[in-house]
Structure 1
Amino acid sequence: MRLATPTLATGARLGSAPRATPTSAATWAPRGRWGAWPDAETRAWRNKAHAALDTLWRRGDMSRSAAYGWMATAMGLPQEEAHMGRMDPDECRRLIHLVKARSR
């Protein structure tokens, strides 16, 4: 008896699907949903905003979870919606400004 090779609905063999690269991957959003595919500008601003926010907890000012809580409060967002994957470039610039203002 010979077993068939498992396939996807598209007919492709399992394990043969192309892997996402850092430049092609979607952004993971909370509650198991995929965010919109960000363009290069949005990805760049999200990376900058993430780096700015990370300075708050990496230098020991607060814990990582406290930094995200601060971000939610500072931006007027519910905790569950305070996620980089939901931000557009304007919101990223605003977050960077808020972090810089807090650090002064």
Structure 2
Amino acid sequence: MSKAFKSKYKGFDADDQALNELPGIIRDFANLIGQRLEGLNAKSQELIQIEFNLTSIAEAKHSTSTNNSMKRLTWITFIFLPLTFISVRFNPFYSVLDTSLTN
């Protein structure tokens, strides 16, 4: 490609040295673009990793909150379930053995 460019525009510039340097300049430019793309790729990978870490932290906080709610519910059940059983069992108006209510 650079040879075709050189041969096509050879007559427009008397400085052959600049035309001889053109392939090297194009190579350097391609290398520079490649390095910048690699840098952008590395930065985007870092940003993806940071986003993943932030999401994991948010999920851990939500899990801790759910865990605390389950702990609270367990304690409430531990206290009130036996009390409910006792209050029903010893209720003077309710007897499991009393068959007069069913007639």
TM-score, normalisation: structure 2 = 0.22
Higher relative contact order (CA 8 A, sep 6+): 1
Which has more helix, going by share of residues? 2
**Of the two, which has the highest radius of gyration?**
2
TM-score, normalisation: structure 1 = 0.22
